Amino acid sequence: MIVDAHYHLYWDDSDPMDFLMGCARVGARRFSKNTPEPMNAEQLLQMQLPILADESGDKLVQLMDESGIDKTLLLPLDYWYWFETSQNTQPYDIMKKNEIYATAAKNHEGRLYSLFGIDPRRKKSVSAFEKAVSKWDMKGLKLHPTTRYYPDDPVCYPLYEKALELQVPILIHSGNQPAPMPAKYSEPKYIDTVAADFPELKIVVAHIGHGWWRQTLDLASMKPNMYVDFSGWQGVYQNDPAYVASVLRSAIDTLGPWRVLFGSDGALLNVIMPLPEWVDSIKNINSVGNAKFSNEELEIILGKAAIHLFGL
Ligand SMILES: [Zn+2]
């Protein structure tokens, strides 16, 4: 059983264009690494948008079939609040976006599941979260603090209390992030404060904190309620597969396999590496480098851990 525990759907107006352009700039620079100036990011974006567009989750399920993925956990992003309040963009209906995610999960029962995503600074975020879990069967909460709030800001705490009450996990982005979002708000040490204040709340540190992975593992070694997903490591894997294997080995050695979750961070990351290739890379991780993994460990990190944690 393979579970992708970190995936985002995109469609027209699902996310601010500035964010997508930021991602396109990263891709453009990567695809033209060896030239003095990057390829045209705008062109790359316009080429990719129709390929990525998938409001229903139908394309994703087809891709899961091609990749051998049984279940995917969807994470709605709310970058909009920051754009609305600081960049004068039109107010965005974040509940509508979450409902689209919930509908995709409902229409693909047993294949797609979704967390609820909201900026904690929005009014009524707590009651909205409660509705999402009780009425839409959403499996927990996703926060993306790179829209300039810290995860240990008191404004977030009512959501954590509600997650505890509803007995669902939360997942917080941690690590690098394209412009116009700064990464610093998502440093693992701010998530550690949450884990300290809510020792019974299960908290996934997304991406193992990317380059902060040592900090994440060190902090999580003292906070048994901290989990990690290793989505978004495809680019690093392409550069140095053995290094990724050694990071994964450290994660399992430090936390045990049940707190380490496979993920892709698609659909955007599929542009860097096709999803079937990422799944195969992890399935065959024993073929690169010196780090070795038992079949049992691979079965747990590739699926069983996410099924257990999120009750899929
Ligand atoms: Zn993500």
CA of 268 to the centre of ligand 1 (A): 9
Asked whether 204 and 141 are in contact (CB, 8 A), the reply is no
pLDDT band with cut points at 50, 70 and 90 for residue 87: confident
Query: How far away, in angstroms, is 302 Cα from ligand 1 center?
Result: 17
Query: If you measure from the C-alpha of residue 7 to the centroid of ligand 1, how many angstroms do you get, rounded to a whole number?
Result: 6
* Encoded amino acid at 239, one letter: N
31's tokens = 């695809």
Token duo for residue 207 = 């991406």
Residue 6 Cα, ligand 1 centroid: separation in angstroms?
Answer: 6
Smallest CA-to-CA distance from 147 within 220, 244, 80, 226 is with 80
Helix (H, G, I), strand (E, B) or coil at 171: strand
Residues whose Cβ atom is located within 5 A of ion ligand 1: 265
Distance 5 CA to ligand 1 centre (A): 10
- State the distance from the centre of ligand 1 to the C-alpha of 231, rounded, in angstroms: 8
Distance 78 CA to ligand 1 centre (A): 11
How many residues are present in the chain?
312
Average pLDDT over the chain reads: 97
Q: What is the pTM of this model?
A: 0.97
How does pLDDT run across 131-157, given as a tens digit for each residue?
999 999 999 999 999 999 999 999 999
pLDDT (mean) for 178-205:
98
Q: 123-132: per-residue pLDDT in tens?
A: 999 999 999 9
Distance from residue 232's CA to the centre of ligand 1 (Å): 7
Q: Mean of the pLDDT values across residues 11-31?
A: 95
pLDDT score, position 239: 97
- pLDDT reported for residue 86: 87
CA of 297 to the centre of ligand 1 (A): 24
Strand locations in the chain (E): 3-7, 71-74, 112-114, 116-117, 141-143, 170-172, 203-205, 226-229, 260-261
pLDDT at 252: 98
Question: What's residue 106's pLDDT?
Answer: 98
Cα separation, 2 vs 64, in Å, equals 10
Ligand 1 centroid from CA 87, angstroms = 22
**How far does residue 177's CA lie from ligand 1's centre (Å)?**
9
Residues contacting 98, CB < 8 A, separation 6+: 76, 114, 116, 117, 118, 128, 132, 136, 138
Instruction: Give, in words, the CATH class of 3-11+56-310.
Output: alpha beta
* pLDDT score, position 88: 78
CB atoms within 10 A of CB 65: 12
Please give the distance, rounded to the nearest whole angstrom, from the Cα atom of residue 173 to the centre of ligand 1: 7
pLDDT in the model for residue 191 = 98
